[in-house]
A and B are shown apart, each in its own frame.
Chain A
Amino acid sequence: MDSSLDFAAIQAMFENNAAKVEGLIDSYVDKKEQLISLLQDIQAEFNYIPQDVIIKISQKLDIPLSQVFSVATFFQAFSLKPRGRHTITVCVGTACHVKGGQRLVEKMARDYNLKPGETTDDERFTLETANCLGCCALGPVVVVDGKYESQVNPEKLDKILKKYE
């Protein structure tokens, strides 16, 4: 394999990403108050919010770094760590809880060695919990990469996760 080619591709990717970040931040220069929305765009692009991007936002939009950091860590939707290829969200809202949703979280810890907020070593899965996904009549609910699964029990969870590599 030609290593120089790979290097060029990686470099191009980095440059491409850097340009994207610049572009995104620039589009918010006149609307500093939409910081949350900017962070959402960044997260949608990279699946997490890289440290250097937080610094760049602070510099370009002239918002204190502490404020950008506090917003990025206050809201559950933002992750400062890279996430796995697939995001599993287990609903732990009340209706799912009374139907055994917590057991799915316990199962993930037991069988996949994965706690909420963590990513597996092979970067296959990131586990998250949500306080209610609004599918309360179908609990316990699990969402994998945006696909909703209803009435999930520990056994069904195994079957669902097999589909994601």
Chain B
Amino acid sequence: MVEQVRKLLDKKLNSIQGLEELRKSLQADKDSSRMVISVCGGTGCRASGAEAVVEAFAEEIERQELAAKIEFKETGCHGFCERGPVVVIGPKKIFYQRVQPEDVPEIIAETVVKGGVVRRLLYTDPATDEEITYETDVPFYNRQTRHILGANGEIDPTDIEQYIAAGGYAALAKVLAGMTPEAIVKEITESGLRGRGGGGFPTGRKWQSCRAAAGEVKYVLCNADEGDPGAYQDRSILEGNPHSVIEGMIIGAYAIGAGQGYIYVRNEYPLAVEHARAALDQAVEYGLLGEDILGTGFDFKVTINKGGGAFVCGESSALIASLEGKVGEPRAKYVHMSEKGLWDKPSLLNNVKTWANVPLIINKGADWYAKIGTPGSKGTMIFSLVGKINNSGLVEVPFGITLREMIYDIGGGIPNGKKFKAVQTGGPSGGCIPEEFLDTPVDFDALTKLGSMMGSGGMIVMDEDNCMVDVARYFIEFLKGESCGKCTPCREGLAKLSEILNRITHGQGVPEDLELMADLGEILHDGALCALGKSAANPVLSTLKYFKDEYLAHINEKKCPAGVCRELLTFSIDPEKCTGCGVCARGCSTNAISGEKKQPHVINQGMCIKCGVCYDACKFGAVIKE
């Protein structure tokens, strides 16, 4: 009896065939005509209150005894974060946005019971003012190719059986059933996959050199230290589909002959850590990780390590130092990681997105994969389209799409009728691309040619209200704070750049500063130890190249054309427009605004600290910023 119960509880799969049988039975159990309610439970939607929505659905389903009729799940990130909490009702995929717990009974009554649509929760396309019912018709989604992100909205990331039912671990089964390690490496090489973490190094070549490296002990590492501000696709995948990453890592381990893997994930991503941990435990429970994987004799373990909040640890050698329990300082890279990495053993480090691409390539084949994208950049790339943009969120598109299509067709353009100024790509190592290059097809090489880079796929859109000198100053301040201080060019160069940019934004710049900054950029590029320092001046160099007039306005006229640099601004009140409502005076923390009720108010310039609260508070546009 005890033995029988143990057998029932023991979910360990002992063979490849066992996995396929489980998949078949899971798929057979699934009733495709059943209604499926999926609520996005990613960090973004949770910030907008998704947890309460999930609870409300669970309660309502129980109250109305609907559990047998519908399938209800909390999934990973759907990508359209700005419209969260997002609820999608299948099989037709009715798309409800900004859903609150109060809306739940109506959704159940209207859509689940009667099969109708709750119109007020539909998305309205800002471009056409048209209400859109189905997810597949929303422009934000219908122009995407979601090979990697697609499953996020379909499966509950904490339930391995949903991943298996959706075809998960089929690539692992294929590999273990009859692909030699050489054949796997060949497949990855021929697919043309390039590292998605920023550098764009050919993945197959990395695998090959790690496979060829001498040594019994090798490691497989996953870089989930997604430090680039403005990018969050790694978080989204690890939260929403952790098994795709784990499956990729197991295949990688099998190909190079590694027995141990590590996922190095940011401390700032608690939900990603939780889901990845749960996924690892389940994979072990199902015999997909650990000893004798699927009865094939192959052993592989994965451990999670949380980072300590240092941007530089996304750099490979700093990440390794951190994994070894040391300070995250990079080292010179004349010895490759694929030969001497973690604890001086050959190590294969890939980004979360790169790992998630592996099962796809194995399942569909290198030929299929290599047909997507541009000659130099294959497959799809996930971008986080954020900043001053109407449809903000995660976007997966084939390489080769133009910036204009991204920003206007998928992103829906710039909000509030403002004018586009620049798009910042590649994080702090990237650059700002102006309007004249919007028709550039996006791939690794094209962005580098423009003085920016792919990085981890952040795309921050800026409008006329953003000051490009301030943006450059922001990135330099960021990097100054994150520089580990080991090498002099980076430590001192960034301190100097920051000093100059702060001077310029405070109205104390001199024309010679521009040349000096360009020189410093060159020194950083040539002299810094790691990629952080080498590319640190890119935000300055690219803005100098494309937005020199803004620098000159700060230096020569002591003006900030975008109205951002506070020391160069004056706030005043237009007596014609001021109605004397007093909202500005009440919000002013230094009591600098005075005036009688219903009479025009005035700002005491001596007391004004230029915080801009009055400018935002005035409903009549009476506060002038110049």
Contact = CB atoms under 8 A, between A and B. Distances in A.
A93 B230 contact: yes
A3 interface: no
Interface in A72-131: 74-78, 92-99, 103, 106-107, 110-111, 130-131
A132 B229 contact: yes
B115 interface: no
Contact of B82 (A94, A106, A111, A137): A137
B309 A134 contact: no
Given A36-B322, A67-B326, A99-B387, A134 B269 contact: yes
Contact of B386 (A67, A77, A95, A133): A95
A75 B327 CA distance: 8
Contact of B328 (A75, A96, A130, A138): A75
B250 to A, nearest CB: 23
B431 to A, nearest CB: 12
A71 interface: yes
Contact of B44 (A40, A76, A135): A135
B458 interface: yes
Contacts, number: 150
A141 interface: yes
Interface in B206-264: 226-232, 235-236
A47 interface: no
Given A37-B306, A98-B387, A150 B325 contact: no
A160 to B, nearest CB: 12
B267 A77 contact: yes
B496 interface: no
Given A32-B325, A36-B322, A70-B327, A111 B589 contact: yes
A133 B39 CA distance: 21
> Does more than half of chain A's interface fall in helix, strand or loop, or is it mixed?
helix
B270 interface: yes
Contacts of B326: 67, 71
B35 to A, nearest CB: 28
B393 A95 contact: no
A99 to B, nearest CB: 7
Interface stretch (B149-157, B368-376, B443-451, B605-613): B605-613
A97 B229 CA distance: 10
A138 B44 contact: yes
A98 B466 contact: yes
B462 interface: yes
A37 B305 contact: yes
Size band of the B side of the interface?
35 or more
Nearest to A75: B308
A94 B43 contact: no
Contacts of B392: 136-137
B474 interface: yes
A36 B267 CA distance: 11
Contacts of A74: 308, 310, 327-328, 484
Nearest to B465: A98
A131 B307 CA distance: 14
Given A71-B327, A94-B229, A95-B387, A135 B81 contact: yes
A81 to B, nearest CB: 16
A131 B226 CA distance: 11
Interface in B376-403: 384, 386-388, 392-393
B139 to A, nearest CB: 16
A58 interface: no
A11 interface: no
B409 interface: no
B460 A98 contact: yes
A155 B465 CA distance: 21
A134 B458 contact: no
A130 B327 contact: no
A78 B307 CA distance: 11
B325 A132 contact: no
Contacts of B227: 131-132
Contact of B308 (A76, A134, A148, A149): A76
B46 interface: yes
B586 to A, nearest CB: 11
Interface string A125-165: 00000111111111101000010111001110000000000
Contacts of A148: 43, 46-47
B611 A71 contact: no
A25 interface: no
A72 B486 CA distance: 17
Contacts of A37: 305-306
A137 B393 contact: yes
Interface string B312-328: 00000000001111111
B231 A132 contact: yes
B310 A154 contact: no
A40 B273 CA distance: 14
B232 A136 contact: yes
A138 B82 CA distance: 6
A155 B584 CA distance: 12
Given A95-B230, A110-B609, A154-B613, A135 B47 contact: yes
Contact of B306 (A40, A98, A136): A40
B270 A131 contact: no
B325 A141 contact: no
Interface in B417-466: 424, 427, 458, 460, 462, 466
For the complex of A and B, 5 pairs with smallest distance between CB atoms: A75-B308, A93-B229, A148-B47, A134-B232, A76-B309
Given A77-B267, A141-B47, A149-B47, 12 more contacts: A34-B305, A36-B306, A74-B484, A78-B308, A98-B460, A98-B466, A99-B387, A103-B611, A110-B609, A132-B232, A134-B43, A134-B235
15 contacts: A33-B323, A33-B325, A71-B327, A94-B474, A95-B230, A97-B229, A98-B388, A134-B232, A134-B268, A136-B230, A136-B460, A138-B48, A138-B81, A138-B82, A150-B44
